[in-house]
């Protein structure tokens, strides 16, 4: 785990040129992050291919390590594809389609509420004739929100309901008529025919596909089928309050080119947000906050200091003073778990790990209580010195021993890593 952290950080602080190897290493992490976020495999592949080309053609920026630069390109490209501007809904009849249980009815309630608050005249209706309970669900929602629900006599077909609802909306001078449709567990022809007919009859201003962010890798195929048949004008990604990282947003954008309009973040009427590409990009990559990762890495590891340490490590010449420097750098980077959460491919796994920062302080205290000579040459630390150090640092002899033991292990490990680029990190916390 911490080895992985060390590996990634050394990648981050590694070579100075955007070489094939650096790019490939960074992209391997990104590819994993994308697939973990349920981005469609082919989409991830073509996306990374473009990033790779951009990275190869880019000049090395002085203030970024190559790996950071690659991540930045990935991030920018992702935000670009996801779409910069929040797009509004065109006035008229807005048709909501999608599989059953994805959140169509709930989303209609949320959007009706939003539009109403903005001062638009809104009405809703449902064509889900096979499931009276689903119609009732929308009717109740409409009541609560305070928008009219258009209901008609029983026995009408979905298409007939749609037509009449549109007529009524015109009479009422409604800005937006939000039309719910039947869902199915799987794409089926009967449903598709029905939707196609509704589309032809009511000429909707928008056809919004409601997609469940938790649907995973097959979701893109379903979205494609709907798009080919109906020509979607927008997507709402629901259930983003869960664990889903929202890779479907990238798949939909990249493969269908359809804009994401909103995201659903809960079951309540207020639980809807505009689609912010930068936030979703970070979430897809599993980066807490990519901007601050880059900034912080630059701030607290002055290039020369890090380089100096790397050089010493490479020379197999690593003493307790260097260890202390390293500890300070790590601590300066802020809460460790937070930092780790910013690193692609690691964030998700690190969520539950708590790094004990108090331990760091104690180790530093032990090292501080040594004389400079002891720090540079720990072999001279005998029992009486240990007693003095333990007393001086308010720790115990066994704790001093642990620090020395781990230092020795690290030194050995670093010797082994000789010839590898970057700054390897020790295993923490000490146990």
The CA-CA-CA angle for residues 247, 344, 276, to 5°, reads 45
Residue 180 annotated in ligand binding: yes
Site for Mg ion in 54-93 (CB under 5 A): none
- What is the smallest separation between the CB atom of 181 and Mg ion, expressed in angstroms? 8
183 is in an annotated binding site: yes
Nearer to ligand GDP, 100 or 205 (CB): 100
342 is in an annotated binding site: no
Was 394 annotated as part of a binding site? no
Cβ contact 401:381 at 8 Å: no
Tokens of 160: 């007939």
- Starting from the edge strand earliest in sequence, which strands make up the sheet with 176-180, in order? 122-126, 176-180, 92-97, 206-212, 234-238, 260-264, 272-274
The residue range among 53-61, 98-106, 198-206, 370-378 that interacts with Mg ion, by the rule CB under 5 A, is 98-106
Query: Whole-number minimum distance, CB 218 to Mg ion, in Å?
Result: 20
**Residue 341 is assigned to a ligand binding site:** no
- Judged by the rule CB under 6 A, the positions of this chain that interact with ligand GDP are 98, 100-106, 183, 210, 238-239, 241, 264-267, 271
Please indicate if the annotation marks 102 as binding a ligand.
yes
Residue number, 111 or 280, with CB nearest to Mg ion: 111
Shorter beta-carbon distance to Mg ion: residue 105 or 282? 105
- Here the tokens at position 429 are 């916390």
DSSP one-letter code for 86:
P
**Coil, helix or strand for 212?**
strand
CB closer to ligand GDP, 213 vs 355: 213
Q: Rank residues 99 and 367 by Cβ distance to ligand GDP and give the closer one.
A: 99
Q: Exactly one of 8, 69, 102, 105 binds Mg ion (CB under 5 A); which one?
A: 105
Q: Is 238 annotated as a binding residue?
A: yes
Q: How many other C-beta atoms lie within 10 A of the C-beta of residue 35?
A: 14
- Rounded Cα distance between 259 and 22, Å, is 33
Q: How far is the CB of 209 from ligand GDP (least distance, A)?
A: 11
**Which residues are paired to 236 by β-bridges?**
210, 262
Q: Which is nearer to ligand GDP, 72 or 113 (CB)?
A: 113
Least spacing, CB of residue 178 vs ligand GDP, in Å:
12
Token pair, residue 195, equals: 């939707």
**Token pair belonging to 73:** 């390109």
Q: Cβ neighbours of residue 270 under 8 Å, at least 6 residues apart?
A: 110, 113
Could you give the CA distance from residue 170 to residue 174 in angstroms, rounded to a whole number?
6
Min CB(184)–ligand GDP separation in Å: 10
How many CB atoms neighbour CB 104 within 10 A? 27
3-state helix, strand, coil split of the chain in percent (to 5) is: 60, 10, 35
411's contact among Mg ion, ligand GDP, none, with CB below 5 to 8 A by partner kind, is: none
Considering the complex, what minimum distance in angstroms separates the CB of residue 286 from ligand GDP?
A: 20
DSSP assignments along 256-299, one per residue: H-PPEEEEE-SSSTT-EEE--HHHHHHHHHT-S-HHHHHHHHHH
Q: Shortest distance, CB of residue 212 to Mg ion, whole angstroms?
A: 12
Q: Which residue is nearest to ligand GDP (CB)?
A: 264
How near is the Cβ of 128 to Mg ion at its closest, in Å? 6
Closer by beta carbon to ligand GDP, 26 or else 272: 272
239 known member of a binding site: yes
103 is in an annotated binding site: yes
Instruction: Say whether residue 179 binds Mg ion (CB under 5 A).
Output: no
155 is in an annotated binding site: no
Toward ligand GDP, which CB reaches closer, 158 or 265? Answer: 265
Residues 341, 328: Cα–Cα separation, whole Å: 19
The pattern of x and - marking residues 122 through 151 that bind Mg ion according to CB under 5 A reads ------------x-----------------
What counts of helices (H) and strands (E) characterise the chain?
20, 7
- Binding-site sequence positions for GTP: 98-105, 180-184, 238-241
- Binding-site sequence positions: 98-105, 180-184, 238-241
**Residue numbers at the binding site for Mg ion (CB under 5 A):** 104-105, 134
């Amino acid at each position: 785990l911490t080895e992985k952290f060390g590996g990634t950080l050394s990648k981050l602080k590694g070579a100075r040129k955007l070489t094939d190897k650096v790019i490939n290493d960074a992209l391997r992490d990104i590819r994993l992050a994308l697939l973990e976020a349920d981005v469609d495999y082919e989409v991830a592949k073509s996306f990374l291919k473009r990033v790779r080309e951009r990275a190869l053609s880019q000049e090395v920026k002085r203030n970024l390590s190559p790996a950071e630069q690659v991540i930045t390109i990935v991030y920018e490209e992702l935000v670009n594809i996801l779409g910069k501007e929040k797009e509004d809904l065109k006035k008229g009849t807005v048709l909501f389609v999608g599989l059953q249980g994805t959140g169509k009815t709930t989303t209609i309630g949320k959007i009706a509420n939003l539009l109403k608050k903005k001062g638009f005249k809104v009405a809703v209706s449902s064509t889900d004739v096979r499931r009276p309970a689903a119609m009732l669900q929308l009717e109740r929602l409409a009541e609560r929100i305070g928008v009219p629900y258009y209901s008609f006599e029983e026995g009408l077909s979905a298409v007939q309901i749609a037509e009449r609802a549109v007529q009524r909306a015109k009479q009422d001078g409604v800005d937006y008529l939000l039309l719910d449709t039947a869902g199915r567990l799987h794409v089926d022809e009967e449903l598709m025919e029905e939707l196609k007919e509704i589309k032809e009859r009511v000429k909707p201003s928008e056809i919004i596909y409601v997609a469940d962010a938790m649907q995973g890798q097959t979701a893109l195929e379903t979205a494609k089928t709907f798009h080919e048949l109906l020509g979607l004008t927008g997507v709402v990604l629901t259930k983003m309050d869960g664990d889903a990282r929202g890779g479907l947003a990238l798949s939909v954008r990249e493969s269908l080119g359809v804009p994401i309009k909103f995201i659903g973040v809960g079951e309540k009427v207020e639980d809807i947000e505009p689609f912010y590409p930068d936030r979703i990009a970070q979430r897809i990559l599993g980066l807490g906050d990519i901007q601050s990762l880059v900034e912080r890495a630059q701030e607290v590891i002055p290039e020369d200091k890090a380089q100096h340490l790397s050089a010493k490590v490479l020379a197999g010449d690593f003493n307790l003073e260097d260890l202390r420097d390293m500890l300070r750098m790590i601590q300066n980077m802020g809460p460790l778990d937070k930092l780790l959460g910013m690193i692609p491919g690691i964030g998700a796994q690190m969520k539950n790990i708590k790094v004990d920062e108090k331990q760091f302080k104690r180790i530093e205290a032990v090292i501080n209580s040594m004389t400079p000579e002891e720090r540079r040459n720990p072999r001279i630390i005998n029992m009486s010195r240990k007693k003095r150090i333990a007393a001086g640092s308010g720790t115990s002899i066994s704790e001093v021993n642990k620090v020395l033991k781990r230092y020795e292990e690290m030194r050995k490990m670093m010797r082994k890593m000789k010839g590898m680029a970057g700054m390897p990190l020790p295993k923490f916390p000490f146990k």
